[in-house]
Amino acid sequence: MVSNRAETLQRYSLAALSHLALIAAWQFFVVYHEVPRFVMPTPRATIEALLIPNYRWLENIWVTSVEIFGGYLLAVFVGILTALLFSWFRTFELVAMPLLVSLNMIPKVALGPLIIVWFKYGIGPNIMMAFAICFFPIVLTTARGLREVEPDLLDLVRALKGSRWQIFAKIQLPNALPYIFSGMKVAAILAVAGAIVGEFLGSDRGLGYLMLQVQVTLDTPAMFMAVILITLIGVVLYGIVLALENLLVVRDARIR
């Protein structure tokens, strides 16, 4: 236990040091090479951009966070449910999976204008964009995880009159958790990209929309700060997924 805590502390310490080193290198590069502010600002100038009230930072952070988390949670729920239906109904998987593969090949940027036409501007279309981008990885990995169960074990539970739900909850889901979280971690990254693409294509709020606005005035510090805040939202989402994985997968492994 002590060894695990020391290893965790070391890992997070090294992560913090690497980020501090990046900030220091950023500061040194800008100052030493006398880079113009409109090309690359210093870290201090980037932080000072938060003091500009016209940019409504809190509102834009909230809007982008809702879009990212909303699209992601919707993709997790629908993706796991779809994969479960695939495991229950083989014919449904044979019909639907090729269709999902074909739909996933459509560039999501091309879907943006259509989503705007169907749902107009607002948070909803950007949630749909985030959902569309991160849905497929969750379905794919979850479906594979649900299939990676020993057939003899499934036959035993069926012989004992176990229901489909009992088979899923007691056998398939615990065995599929590593696969599910693998897809969820990939989807967490894609959800951020989906929400920002949606804001670029059509939005009147959010950090992506703000980036387009400050681009016109060459307010590069505000652009840098928007990128940093978007990254932090993604890191928070990824950290939550990672914490849940460590809690559920490790606990399940210990129980077994």
Give the pLDDT confidence of 180-234 residue by residue, as tens digits: 999 999 999 999 999 998 898 878 889 999 999 998 888 999 999 999 999 999 9
pLDDT band for position 254 (50/70/90)?
A: very low
Instruction: Find the length of the chain.
Output: 256
Does the pLDDT value for residue 1 go beyond 70? Answer: no
- Flag whether pLDDT at 111 surpasses 80: no
**Domains of the chain from N-terminus onward:** 53-255 (1.10.3720.10)
What's the rounded mean pLDDT across residues 150-173?
Answer: 71
Confidence class for position 255, pLDDT limits 50, 70, 90: very low
Is pLDDT above 80 for 165? no
Collapsing DSSP states into helix, strand and coil, what is residue 182?
Answer: helix
**What whole-number distance in Å separates Cα of residue 83 and Cα of residue 182?**
14
Mean pLDDT of 44-65: 92
CB of 174 closer than 8 Å to CB of 148: no
Q: Is 94 exposed, middle or buried (0-12, 13-18, 19+ CB in 10 A)?
A: exposed
**Euclidean distance between CA atoms 6 and 88, whole angstroms:** 44
What confidence tens digit (pLDDT) does each residue in 230-251 have? 999 999 999 999 999 988 886 5
Instruction: Give the pLDDT score at 37.
Output: 85
For helices 123-147 and 90-104, what crossing angle results, to 10°? 130
Give the mean model confidence (pLDDT) for residues 43-66.
92
The string of pLDDT tens digits covering residues 65-95 is 999 999 999 999 999 999 999 988 889 889 9
Taking a C-beta distance cutoff of 8 angstroms, is the pair 190, 136 a contact?
Answer: no
Give dist(CA 254, CA 50) in Å, integer: 46
Mean per-residue pLDDT, 2-14? 74
* CA 132/CA 143 separation, integer angstroms: 18
- Who contacts 215 (Cβ-Cβ below 8 Å, separation ≥6)? 223
Residue 127 contacts by C-beta under 8 Å, 6 or more apart in sequence? 66, 67, 70, 71, 74, 195
Distance CA 129, CA 73 (A): 13
pLDDT over 70 percentage in the chain: 90
- Average of per-residue pLDDT across 88-108: 87
Query: Which of 39-53, 104-118, 177-191 comes out lowest in average pLDDT?
Result: 104-118
Closest by CA to 238, choosing from 154, 181, 163, is 181
Q: How many beta carbons lie within 10 A of that of residue 245, not counting itself?
A: 17
CB burial class (10 A; 0-12, 13-18, 19+) of residue 100? middle
Residue 9, pLDDT score: 77
DSSP character at residue 53:
G
Instruction: Indicate the residue type of 74.
Output: L
